[in-house]
Chains A and B, each alone.
Chain A
Amino acid sequence: MFRAKTKDLRRTMSRRGLLLAGGSALLTSFLGARLFQLQVAQNNRYQRLSDRNQFDVRIVAPTRGRLFDRKMRLLAGNAESFELYVTPLYVDDLQQTLAALGQIIELTERDIKAVLLAARKGPSFRDIIVRNDLSQRELARLAVRSPLFGGVSFGKSLRRIYPQGALACHITGYVSPVTAREIERNQSLEKTPYLGTGKVGVEFAHEIYLRGLPGRERIEVNAKGQSIRVLRDVDAISGKDLQLSIDVGVQLQAAEILRRGQLAPVELGSLQVQRALAKDSDLQAHIALGDNLILQDAKDRLVPPESGAVVVMDIHSGEVISLVSAPMFDPNLFTGTLLTRDWRRLNSHPRTPLLNRATSGQYAPGSTFKMVVGLAAIEAGVISKNTQFNCSGDMELGNATFHCWRKGGHGMMNIISALEQSCDVFIYKVALKTGIRKIKDMAHRLGLGDLTGIDLPGEKQGIIPSHEWKLASQGRVWTPGETVVSSIGQGYVLATPVQLAVMTARIANGKQAVTPRLVKSSGDAAPDFAPLDVDPYALAIIREGMFEVMNGGLGTARNYDLDKSLGGMAGKTGTVQVKRITKAQREEGIVNNIDRPWAERDHALFVAYAPVERPRYAISVVVEHGGSGSSTAAPVARDILTQLMQKQG
Chain B
Amino acid sequence: MNIRTRFFSALVITVGFVGLSSMTKIVAQGQNAQPERTCSMVRDYPAFHECAVEQMQSFEPPRTPDGKPDFNGIWRPTRIAQDIEEITPGKYGRFGHMRTLIVDPPNGKIPYKPWAMTERFNNEKVYLSPTAVCLPVAQPRWSYSPVSVTGHRIIQQPNLIVFSMERLHTYRIIHMNDRPALPKELHLWQGDSRGHWEGNTLVIRTTNLNDLMWMDHIGTFMSPDITTEERITFVDENTLHYEETITDANVFTQPWTIALAFLRAQPNDIMDTMDLEDTTVENCEEELIHMMNVGQIPFPGYKALAPK
Q: Do A and B bind each other?
A: no
